[in-house]
Amino acid sequence: MRRHYYLIISLFLFLLSGNVFSQSDEKADNKIGLTADGGTWGFFQAKETKDSCKHVLLIGDSVMHGYHQFVINGLNDVACVDRWTTGMHLNSKSLIEKLAELVSVRNYDVIHFNIGLHGWQKGRIPKGQYVPLLEKYILTIQQYAPKAKLIWASTTPVTEQDKPVLNKDINPIIFERNALAASVMKEHGVAINDLYGLLVEKLDLARLDRFHWFSDGYRLMSDQIISSILSELSK
């Protein structure tokens, strides 16, 4: 009886530290404005492909809804661009399985990815697990898309609601995790596209809903993303 009791307690603690949040994450995110922001979550493939085109995959959240079309247009003569727009975080249930499935859809030449804006909320990523979970994410891409050159994009700054200043509660978490992620990327040979650094002094381009940006901000991001992808394609 005592052993049975301990097993129940252990299972309960495991659920609290793991993926139990996955079913309620989207509802919680919608309440605070972390929505798909005018688009939809999902995997979208290039409408047309040419035998000669390079294949690029963009992975990101609602911020990618703002810049993806600029990137697609900017790479039109060079690459066919697919995208996976997702509200998942590093500890989301089925993330790794979905990641493995989608990065192997094509023989991608470059994968430009970000995952961070949906993971700062308390309880989603257990203490001390951010780096191991991120490493698992990277190793999964490298295993299932071995040809692809990888580019990690840092998570963009978070502002206060209706004020062009950095959010005092959320942004320190974003900043800290960006720093941890940069170290992980260097260790695993992944190129870094610092979107946070690009925008942290340009908060006048933020929409001031805390998370999203005006068109000029997305254009600025897309220019740097296009440059980073072309750099990797040229190697």
> pTM of the predicted model, to two decimals?
0.88
Q: Tell me what percent of the residues of the chain surpass a pLDDT of 90.
A: 80
pLDDT grade for 139, boundaries at 50, 70 and 90: very high
User: What's the pLDDT at 4?
Assistant: 42
Q: For residue range 207-227, what is the model confidence (pLDDT) as tens digits?
A: 999 999 999 999 999 999 999
**pLDDT exceeds 70 at position 14:** no
Please tell me which residue, 12 or 226, carries the higher pLDDT value.
226
The whole-chain average pLDDT of the chain stands at 90
SS (H, E, C) 153-173: ECCCCCEECCEEEECCCCHHH
pLDDT grade for 149, boundaries at 50, 70 and 90: very high
Q: Which fold has domain 42-233?
A: Rossmann fold (3.40.50)
The residue extents of the domains of the chain are: 42-233
User: What's the pLDDT at 24?
Assistant: 67
